[in-house]
Amino acid sequence: MNGFHVMHEITLLEEQDALYIAERHKKEFDYPIHNHEEYELNFVEHAPGVRRIVGDCTEIIGEYDLALIASENLEHVWEQYQCTSNDIREITVHFKFGLDDGFFEKRPFLPIRNMLKEAQKGLAFSTSAIMKVYHDIDMLSQVNGKFEALLRFLRILDTLARSGGARTLASSSYAKVQIEDDSKRVLKVKNYINENYMYELKLETLADLANMSQSSFSRFFRMHTGRTLSDYIIDVRMGFASRLLLNTEESVANISFKCGYNNLSNFNRIFKRKKGCSPSEFREQYRKIKIIV
């Protein structure tokens, strides 16, 4: 292992607090890549060109950005990159209640609970969803009374959970999210892929696991996951490859082999198509924003 690690942030949210809300107006992002035990909803306004990194997902944001992160191990950062705005506004909410304490187990909260499960990989919301909650977020730091602030925040979460169109950010394999699926056959295949991604994965083998014909299984898998089998396998391998690139000194060639690719040029081509940069550029880019702790 190398000496580069994500900074683990100790937030200002105390044990008896429900929320920590911070609103900032600034000219640049300079906080290092980090993670923390608390969940985070982060809103950014007037910062087009900023680069948002969540796990192994890198995106350039527009005028508005809203992301939800519900994992203590998922690193994230907003970095200046190509942003030239002199009036960046950021509203950050940290909260501890969620998936582990039963708070959202009751039926009225199930949409929020399902959203938080997805947010273990990070979630980015559409502009239309952001506009639905813009007023509540805009006023959140100005609300008088902790109870009223909590009610407003719950309304924000509920509206987002019911808006649809949110995108998961980090890959499941990178975020180390437990696989869940309504179909036991799909779950069985996903688990097999996650345990054997470093080997050749044949459609025939996976279809046999599901006790289906190859053509029927291909259609079935896509219907249940929204992705083709080959795309799913690639995403799993890219997630593991990303972790190896960041957390080890192994060569790209070795990492390629460990993630199921015997052809280095093929690995490089697929990685660049998925991540927007070569494996070496990905490793260098992340290390520039990490700090030694």
List, for residues 143-197, the tens digit of each pLDDT value: 888 899 999 999 999 999 999 889 999 988 888 776 555 578 888 999 899 899 9
Produce one character per residue of 37-47: b if its CB has 16 or more CB atoms within 10 Å, e if not. Answer: ebbbbbbbbeb
The number of residues making up the chain comes to 293
The answer to whether the predicted template modeling score (pTM) of the entire model surpasses 0.85 is no
**In the CATH scheme, what is the code of domain 179-289?**
1.10.10.60
Residue 117 pLDDT greater than 50, yes or no: yes
**209 compared with 246, residue with greater pLDDT:** 209
Residue 146, pLDDT score: 86
Residue 45 token pair: 């306004």
Residue 2 pLDDT greater than 50, yes or no: no
Report the share of the chain in percent with pLDDT over 90: 57
Residue 263 pLDDT greater than 70, yes or no: yes
List, for residues 268-280, the tens digit of each pLDDT value: 999 999 888 899 9
Domain extent listing, the chain: 7-170, 179-289
List, for residues 53-87, the tens digit of each pLDDT value: 999 999 999 999 999 999 988 999 999 999 999 99
Domain spanning 7-170: CATH superfamily: Jelly Rolls (2.60.120.10)
Residue 37 token pair: 């035990």
The CA distance from 288 to 153, in Å, is 34
Average model confidence (pLDDT) for the chain?
A: 88
Same fold, 7-170 and 179-289: no
Residue 97, pLDDT score: 84
